[in-house]
Amino acid sequence: MNKFDIIVLIPLVWGLYKGFRKGFVIEAASLVGLILATWAGIKFSGYLSELLTVEYGYETEYLPIASFFIIFLAILILIFLSAKLLEGFLKLTMLSTFNKVLGAVFCCFKYALILSVLLFILNAVKEKEPMISEDLRSTSYLYSPLAKISITLVPSLKDYLIEFKENSLKRLNKQE
């Protein structure tokens, strides 16, 4: 185990703790809530802006932004309340421990996915002079599995990240 492994273990252990404390239902709801609220805010903020302008006479340049946040917060609150209701049901059915253990695994995996994407981006940006030395990578227990997570899990992410890498290298070459 080297320095890289220790640095990576800190957020993974934090994810285990956080996931166990909150449980799977809340952790999954927060992730789904963020994704759904962002999508709904983008998709429907134009409709809400138009409704507020036509029905209530509100006209301001900030109306689309305000509409986005209204929808975003409404969806987040709705999902959070639904998750709390489901969590209460799980406590009644004595599945609370299962919820907490599954939450620990889910949150740890979520953090591993985030670290994997960050690792890919770091490697893409600094291809000529990697931020993580070859020696550190070869002696690490976690580098190889972590580096493979994002590409294995989301194959379409690979194309996007490769494009990001190429664009970053072009910008770096222009600066040199």
What digits encode the pLDDT tens for the residues 136-146?
888 999 999 99
Helix (H) or strand (E) holding 109: helix 96-125
CA distance 120 to 8: 14
Residue with tokens 């919820």: 99
- Pick the range with the lowest mean pLDDT from 19-28, 35-44, 65-74, 148-157: 148-157
What share of the chain has pLDDT > 90, as a percent? 45
The mean pLDDT of 65-71, rounded to a whole number, is 92
Given a cut of 70, whether residue 168 has pLDDT beyond it is no
Q: Write down the pTM of the prediction.
A: 0.72
CA 1 – CA 136 distance, rounded (Å): 10
pLDDT value for 16: 97
pLDDT averaged over the chain? 86
Domain count, the chain: 1
Q: Which residue has the higher pLDDT, 152 or 140?
A: 140
Highest-confidence segment of 19-23, 115-119, 134-138: 19-23
Confidence of residue 173 (pLDDT cuts 50, 70, 90): low
Domain that holds residue 38: 3-175
pLDDT > 70 fraction of the chain, expressed in percent and rounded: 84
pLDDT in tens, 20-64: 999 999 999 999 999 899 899 989 988 898 898 888 888 878 888
Q: Are 3 and 136 in contact (CB under 8 A)?
A: yes
| Residue 97: both structure tokens together | 């421990």
Say which residue, 133 or 175, is predicted with more confidence.
133
Q: How far apart are CA 83 and CA 76, in angstroms?
A: 10
Identity of the amino acid at 131: M
Please count the other Cβ atoms lying within 10 Å of the Cβ belonging to residue 32: 12
Mean pLDDT, to the nearest integer, of 51-80?
Answer: 90
For residue 176, is pLDDT > 60?
Answer: no
Pair of tokens at residue 137: 């990578």
